[in-house]
Amino acid sequence: MTDGRKTSRSQAWFGARGRSGMLYRSWMRNQGLGHEVFDGRPVIGVATSASELAPCNAHLTHVAEAVKRGVWQAGGLPLQFPTMATGETLMRPTAMLYRNLMAMEVEELIRANPLDGVVLLSGCDKTTPAMLMGAASVDLPAVMVTGGPMLNGKYRGQDVGSGTHVWKFEEDLKTGRMTEEECFFAEGCMARSHGHCMTMGTASTMACMAEALGMQLPGSAAWPAVDSRRMETAQAAGRRIVRMVDEDLRPSQIMTRAAFENAIRVNAAIGGSTNAIIHLTAIAGRLGVELSLEDFDALVRAVPTLVNLMPSGRYLMEDFCYAGGLPAVMAELLGGKLLHGEQTTVTGRTVAENTESAERIISDVVTGLEAPFQPAGTGIAVLRGNLCPDGAVIKQSAASPHLLTHRGPARVFDSPEAYHEVADDPDLDVDENTVIVIRNAGPRGYPGMPEVSNVPLPAKLLKAGVKDMVRVCDGRMSGTGYGTVILHVAPEAAVGGPLALVRDGDPVILDVPNRILSVEVDEAELARRRQTWRAPAERYTSGYTWLYTQNVEQADRGADFGFLRGSRGHEVPRDSH
Ligand code: FES
Ligand code: MG
């Protein structure tokens, strides 16, 4: 039955004798599977997060077909199953609220079923970390295949980037440079094909992170969703997972501390999203790998930004693909001794071996270390101070250099909505030095830590030609966003972090070179204010959102549920009959 292979996990189901085996096999045969497929060959789950409610993932059913071809080619049995999809654009109050739920679902579906390995098909922002978190907690052989970016957006002869141009168009609309009708037309031009955001937003970032961690095949992150080579890669992943099952090559051997260090540095080199910090921390938590916010600051100081992509630069993922994609970036970093080349990946080969033949093909898109797109030290910085004792984050490359050192009076809003209500008021009491504080947008506060931090500037200042202002928030920012925005302030206001105590007019100090975010109010006064502070009323007393608010950890811990940390393995559960 098992042609020399050791008895597989799936054989605990399909190889069972008597009534039990009959139950497990018979119902599967209603799909036209012959008895020969239960001979002990690796059974590979093809987990797809395809959904018409998550447009970035809608095409994954086609990608799954390619994966399945590969699994059959290598002598495995592919079984496709759906997972939840956390679509960024439609889900309210934020897809992030559901990342942990999706991770739980992925974990439990893999463990409960007769699987020996799994291929994870993701696309939109949260779907990639959710799947990696779930798979890490089961620790069966796993390969990720992200669905690929959309083709470059094109509007009136210009490249337009998903997300990034939404903010630009909004500003143009507010200042009268664009009409409503032009915006309506432009939104169609921004989404020309299947795929996820084609800027270096969170989806592209996390696809690159999966590749940098060694969890997807080299080059896989950048193929556009509609490029036939996306399907070739998917097919190759299908073949590879079958071998991985034979080799018993599992996520815990691939996603080591060294792999996370590689990913953190790659994120700096690609000018990736701040959201990667939260997601990588959460994935690491599933594997028992300790990552602190300081790691994210210290590891990237020597890494320049090599990739010239929106929102920090001008190109898009399609260009990145033609320029050599992530292997070109990783080869360059390896050359500068900025990566652990000996780390194993899903190919069974090391990072160094995977990138041996990689080259930078268009050097304006993927620059070299000798003349980088942005110098080292301009990446994501981690701040501390009496406003954020557990840290805060700023993406320097998306900020205005003149604001990186700034002192200005706070103008405080208890919610993003409170700001939006008055943002267009011509008499709003702000000027370009004001620091806009938006609070109660953290993991517990919103709930779900939405991407609301980069609020548009007040209309009166936009009209006066002001291009950027310092904003401070305990929420997140879309990976496609930009501006001098301090994010992920921890602890958040809703749990009584110092952000909750700031008042209008308090001087806020931002000193990014020295990694400081503080408020010039003395400790005694802050203590007095704390005495009168009351936690916002609990809005949820049942249901998933209650579970979330009771268990979610702060941003610096990855906003996972405390009870989901660690791996729970892949022991075969008790019989069901
Ligand atoms: Fe899905 Fe950007 S909205 S990837
Ligand atoms: Mg996003």
Calculate the CA dihedral of residues 99, 105, 111, 117 and round it to 10 degrees: -60
CA distances from 366 to 286, 333, 341, 358 (A): 32, 12, 20, 12
- Atom index in ligand 1 nearest the CA of residue 163 equals 2
Residue 99 structure tokens:
């990342």
138 membership: H or E segment, kind and range: helix 127-138
How remote is the CA of residue 58 from the centroid of ligand 1, in Å? 11
Q: What is the mean pLDDT of residues 231-239?
A: 98
How remote is the CA of residue 125 from the centroid of ligand 1, in Å? 6
Q: What are phi and psi of 446, to 5 degrees?
A: -75, -45
Nearest protein Cα to ligand 1, atom 3: 88
Do residues 475 and 450 touch, judged by C-beta distance below 8 A? Answer: yes
Residue 5: band (very low, low, confident or very high) from pLDDT cuts 50, 70, 90:
low
CB neighbourhood size of 29 (10 A)? 12
Q: What are phi and psi of 196, to 5 degrees?
A: -95, 175
Do residues 485 and 512 touch, judged by C-beta distance below 8 A? Answer: no
Residue 330: band (very low, low, confident or very high) from pLDDT cuts 50, 70, 90:
very high
How remote is the CA of residue 435 from the centroid of ligand 1, in Å? 29
3-state secondary structure of 492: coil
Does 262 have pLDDT greater than 70? yes
Q: Residue 32 burial by CB count (10 A; 0-12/13-18/19+): exposed, middle or buried?
A: exposed
CA 559 from centroid of its chain's CA atoms: 12
How remote is the CA of residue 162 from the centroid of ligand 1, in Å? 8
3-state secondary structure of 392: strand
From the CA of 273, the nearest ligand is: 2
Length of the chain: 577
Q: What is the mean pLDDT of residues 223-233?
A: 98
Return the DSSP state at 384.
B
- Atom index in ligand 1 nearest the CA of residue 54 equals 1
Q: What is the mean pLDDT of residues 536-563?
A: 96
Q: What angle do CA 170, 172, 175 make, to 5 degrees?
A: 110
Is ligand 1 within 6 A of the CB of residue 197? yes
From the CA of 449, the nearest ligand is: 2
Contacts of 63 (CB under 8 A, 6+ apart): 48, 121, 145, 147, 230, 231, 234
From the CA of 477, the nearest ligand is: 2
Contacts of 487 (CB under 8 A, 6+ apart): 274, 392, 393, 394, 395, 453, 473, 475, 476, 477
Q: Is the pLDDT higher at 539 or at 73?
A: 73
Nearest protein Cα to ligand 1, atom 2: 197
Which pLDDT score, from 0 to 100, does residue 6 have?
63
Does 3 have pLDDT greater than 50? no
Nearest-angstrom CA–CA distance, 35 and 12: 16
265 membership: H or E segment, kind and range: helix 257-270
Nearest of 274, 270, 263 to residue 313 by alpha carbon: 270
| Digit-coded pLDDT (tens) for 398-419 | 899 999 999 999 999 999 999 9
Residue with tokens 């018979």: 26
Is ligand 1 within 6 A of the CB of residue 148? no
Q: What is the mean pLDDT of residues 288-304?
A: 96
CA-CA-CA-CA torsion sign (202, 205, 210, 216): positive
Pocket residue to mutate for ligand 1, from 51, 53, 56, most atoms within 8 A of Cβ: 56
Residue 7: band (very low, low, confident or very high) from pLDDT cuts 50, 70, 90:
confident
Strand positions, DSSP E, 282-402: 380-383, 392-395
Q: What angle do CA 479, 265, 565 make, to 5 degrees?
A: 75
3-state SS of 505-565 is CCEEEEEHHHCEEEECCCHHHHHHHHHHCCCCCCCCCCHHHHHHHHHECCHHHCCCEHHHC
From the CA of 95, the nearest ligand is: 2
| Digit-coded pLDDT (tens) for 59-118 | 999 999 999 999 999 999 999 999 999 999 999 999 999 999 999 999 999 999 999 999
How remote is the CA of residue 87 from the centroid of ligand 1, in Å? 7
Residue 538: band (very low, low, confident or very high) from pLDDT cuts 50, 70, 90:
confident
Q: What are phi and psi of 122, to 5 degrees?
A: -130, 180
Does 2 have pLDDT greater than 80? no
3-state secondary structure of 327: helix
Contacts of 237 (CB under 8 A, 6+ apart): 67, 70, 119, 143, 145, 216, 217, 220, 346
Nearest-angstrom CA–CA distance, 257 and 269: 19
Task: Output the furthest CA–CA distance in the chain (Å, rounded).
Answer: 80
pTM of the model: 0.97
Which pLDDT score, from 0 to 100, does residue 398 have?
87
DSSP assignments along 207-245, one per residue = HHHHHHTT-S-TTTTTS-TTSHHHHHHHHHHHHHHHHHH
What average pLDDT is seen over the chain? 96
How remote is the CA of residue 217 from the centroid of ligand 2, in Å? 24
- Atom index in ligand 1 nearest the CA of residue 203 equals 4
Is ligand 1 within 6 A of the CB of residue 201? yes
How remote is the CA of residue 155 from the centroid of ligand 1, in Å? 19
Nearest protein Cα to ligand 1, atom 1: 124
CA-CA-CA-CA torsion sign (539, 543, 549, 550): positive
How remote is the CA of residue 234 from the centroid of ligand 2, in Å? 24
Is ligand 1 within 6 A of the CB of residue 488? no
Is ligand 1 within 6 A of the CB of residue 196? yes
Is ligand 1 within 6 A of the CB of residue 89? yes
CB neighbourhood size of 554 (10 A)? 21
Provide the pairing of β-strand 43-48 with 77-82: parallel
Angle between the 202-212 and 325-335 helix axes, to the nearest 10 degrees?
A: 60
How remote is the CA of residue 201 from the centroid of ligand 1, in Å? 8
How remote is the CA of residue 91 from the centroid of ligand 1, in Å? 11
Q: What is the mean pLDDT of residues 314-326?
A: 98
Pocket residue to mutate for ligand 1, from 53, 86, 89, 206, most atoms within 8 A of Cβ: 89
From the CA of 57, the nearest ligand is: 1
Q: What is the mean pLDDT of residues 421-433?
A: 96
Contacts of 409 (CB under 8 A, 6+ apart): 433, 434, 435, 504, 505, 506, 507, 508
Nearest-angstrom CA–CA distance, 298 and 86: 32
From the CA of 207, the nearest ligand is: 1
